[in-house]
Structure 1
Amino acid sequence: MEKFDFLSAYNLTDNDLMAAGITWDELDAILKEYQKTEELLRGIGKDFINDYLYDIDKAGIHSYRYRTKEPGHLLEKIIRKRTENPDRFAGLDHTNYYKYITDLIGIRVFFLYREDWIHFHRYITRTFENNPDIYVEDRLADFDNDTAHYYIAERPKVYKRSGDSRIYDEKEIDIIAGGIYRSLHYIIKYKGYYVEIQGRTLFEEGWSEIDHDIVYPYYKDDEMLKDFSKLLNRLSGMADEMSSYFRRMKQDLNDRNSK
């Protein structure tokens, strides 16, 4: 990957590299290390799917998909994270980037109805060790080198949009409100690497894919695109609410018929 091509593709400049405190040579070294590892990561993601998500009824989900992080997106994220949180990411380099970046292996699980999150949440938190005492705070000092130790590495959290109906329990999961982003997030330590699991409804996934393709993170300052994305987000939220109403209506009809 050439520097000019990368900067052009991700709407970045040399000033962004300077702000992140990282050189192109270091980014190129990270890229080369990641390319050596990507096939291994792809296999680990497949193993996770086969071991824990292939039986979708047991997992409490509608469907799933997974991917390894696209190399250009990895470099862009490193630049962004070092700029946004320089203290936390200052030590990141080509020898340890996988200890900092928790979504090299990304899995999406989908729900038909928003309320179904609880079934998946309880499945994951019962399947993997969920001990707050071993949640990762310092990416280097807290990294567990035991590849056989599988556990939840951060407290699960959910991003919810202001105005959404109350379906989450703060005793079960951290609730982050006020934005337009809707998603469950779990970080699992598995076979020596982090696996990020995001849970969304099918409608939420549709909005998210369009927003990430057009707006985030390269045109997030474009007011017109942001307004259109917010409108689509509200529509997807309304579709989720209507889906829940449909299911409740069906249950009421079944209850009346059974009587």
Structure 2
Amino acid sequence: MENLIPTPQNDDDAILALLDNMKHELGIFMDGVLRYLGDHPDLRVGGKQIVHSYKSRLKDREHLRTKLARKRSQGNPVLPEDLFRRVTDLAGVRIIHLFQEHFSQIDRLIRRKVDAGDWVLGERAKAYTWDPETAEYFRGFDLDVMQKPTSYTSVHYLIRPREDSPICCEVQVRTLFEEIWGEVDHQINYPVPTKNLACGEQIKVLSKLVGAGSRLLDSLHRVHQSDREPGA
């Protein structure tokens, strides 16, 4: 007799099938977001592109399966009917810039697209940071600022083509220094935190160096700009 009792395995198989069916449309929308932000002519200052680099990715089946298992182990399982509401990073774009002060222009460009009705924010954008000075900077924008003990710094937008669409692209905006920290932490300390005390401490130290490096870059940029002003 066919087993009609729902099981975690049945749910996961159904969810992975939903991902397979939606992957093409997710990719098309993600590519449009990436090109709009990554190459936009308005993101140029002094003839130079604000965006240092950009990347995108579609979550594959195995990473999604791992995420589903992790949520289930935390007592927060995802059901097939909840997939596109609960898992909002199936498509992801990362925009990397050099100077923190240029974040305002990237944020303005995203808001302009939303105000025109071309995109919809799935929720209020969030700025994650451990650093009080960076948190204070982000409070000057229309963002929910979350100070986290994990040393992570990034701004996240959930972008949909329309309010009722299941398609969602998570856009992460961060500096190049913050990207370096994030890549190191992702390999050593995520999604399962390292149990090596020395590694954990060194990751925290690296975050402090990243914060200092970002401030130094902004200071260098301001000095350079003042030297180029007429009469300087």
Which residue of the partner structure matches residue 70 of structure 2? 80
Question: Which residue is 1:244 aligned to?
Answer: 218
- Aligned residue among 166, 169, 179 for 2:139: 169
Q: 1:58 aligns with which of 37, 42, 48?
A: 42
Query: 1:153 maps to which residue?
Result: 122
Change (3 A) 1:35 1:117: same
Distance 2:83 2:13 in 1: 12
Q: What is the Cα deviation at residue 237 of structure 1? A: 1.5
Matched positions, count: 216
Shift of 1:56: 3.4
Q: Is the 8 A contact 1:158 1:173 kept in 2?
A: yes
1:1-259 pair list within 5 angstroms: 23-50=8-35, 52-59=36-43, 61-84=51-74, 86=76, 92-129=78-115, 150-165=119-134, 166-170=136-140, 172-179=142-149, 180-190=151-161, 192=165, 193-255=167-229, 258-259=231-232
- The one-letter amino acid paired with 2:96 is F
Q: Is the 8 A contact 2:88 2:168 kept in 1?
A: yes
TM-score by length of 2: 0.80
> Following the alignment from structure 1 to structure 2, what is the Cα–Cα distance between the partners of residues 171 and 49?
22
2:26 and 2:168 in contact (8 A); partners too? no
Aligned with 2:94: secondary structure? strand
Return the offset for 1:215: 1.1
Whether the 8 Å CA contact 1:158–1:185 is kept in 2: the answer is yes
CA distance in 1 between counterparts of 2:185 and 2:7 reads 28
Q: What amino acid is the match of 1:43?
A: I
SS at match of 2:145: strand
What is the DSSP-based 3-state SS (H/G/I as helix, E as strand, rest coil) of the residue aligned with 1:187?
strand
Give the secondary structure class of the aligned counterpart of 1:176: strand
Tell me the CA shift for residue 205 of structure 1. Answer: 0.6
User: What displacement does 1:240 show?
Assistant: 0.8
Q: Deviation per CA, 1:27-84, whole angstroms, max 9, x where unpaired?
A: 233223323332332222113323x224334245333211101322222223334454
Q: Matched residue of 1:258: which SS? A: coil
Structure 2 regions of 5+ residues with no counterpart?
1-5, 44-49
CA distance in 1, matches of 2:173, 2:141: 18
Q: Indicate how the Cα distance of structure 1 residues 55 and 159 shifts in structure 2: closer, same or farther if over 3 A, else same.
A: same
Q: Measure, in 1, the Cα distance between the counterparts of 2:147 and 2:81.
A: 35
- CA RMSD in angstroms comes to 2.7
Q: TM-score, normalised by structure 1?
A: 0.73
Instruction: Please give the per-residue CA displacement for 1:189-232, whole angstroms capped at 9, x wherever unaligned.
Output: 12630110000001111110111122111234443332221122
Q: Measure, in 1, the Cα distance between the counterparts of 2:137 and 2:64.
A: 33
